Amino acid sequence: DTGVSQDPRHKITKRGQNVTFRCDPISEHNRLYWYRQTLGQGPEFLTYFQNEAQLEKSRLLSDRFSAERPKGSFSTLEIQRTEQGDSAMYLCASTSSKGGYEQFFGPGTRLTVL
């Protein structure tokens, strides 16, 4: 069990560029979550998958954001036409629907939009 991994750990981009983040959950976990955390705040839910199905999306997830989990394993989060307000830490978590429901978090991807 290697834990949840995220790549890259840091991303600096210019406003208007597209970025993509990857999350690899714990291998036996069928649920995967994305959260966003801005400085000095708690994480906020963005979206979650059960296997490959995206079951819930927050109103925070504007149409510039898209998430996929094509084979029910790793997931990607893409932000198109980035804005300075997108600067945040993007956290991924996973859990098993058959387990204790505790979510295990990855180290996060820190996005800075210049």
Partner 1 sequence: AQSVTQPDIHITVSEGASLELRCNYSYGATPYLFWYVQSPGQGLQLLLKYFSGDTLVQGIKGFEAEFKRSQSSFNLRKPSVHWSDAAEYFCAVGASNAGNMLTFGGGTRLMVKP
Q: Considering the rule CB under 8 A, would residue 101 count as an interface residue with partner 1?
A: yes
Most distant CA atoms of the chain, gap in Å: 42
> CA 66, 51, 10, 44: dihedral to nearest 10 degrees?
70
Pick one of 13, 68, 73, 105: the residue that binds partner 1 (CB under 8 A).
105
Going by C-alpha positions, the residue among 72, 23, 24 that lies closest to residue 50 is 72
| Phi-psi sector, 13: left (phi>0), alpha (psi -120 to 50), beta | beta
* Cα gap 11→27, rounded to integer Å: 25
Find the part of the chain contacting partner 1 (CB under 8 A) among 22-30, 40-48, 61-69, 79-87. Answer: 40-48
Q: Considering the rule CB under 8 A, would residue 108 count as an interface residue with partner 1?
A: yes
Pick one of 21, 24, 35, 94: the residue that binds partner 1 (CB under 8 A).
35
Subset of residues 55 to 74 that bind partner 1, contact rule: CB under 8 A: 55-56
* Site residues for partner 1 per CB under 8 A: 4, 31, 33, 35, 40-45, 48, 50, 55-56, 91, 93, 95, 100-108, 110
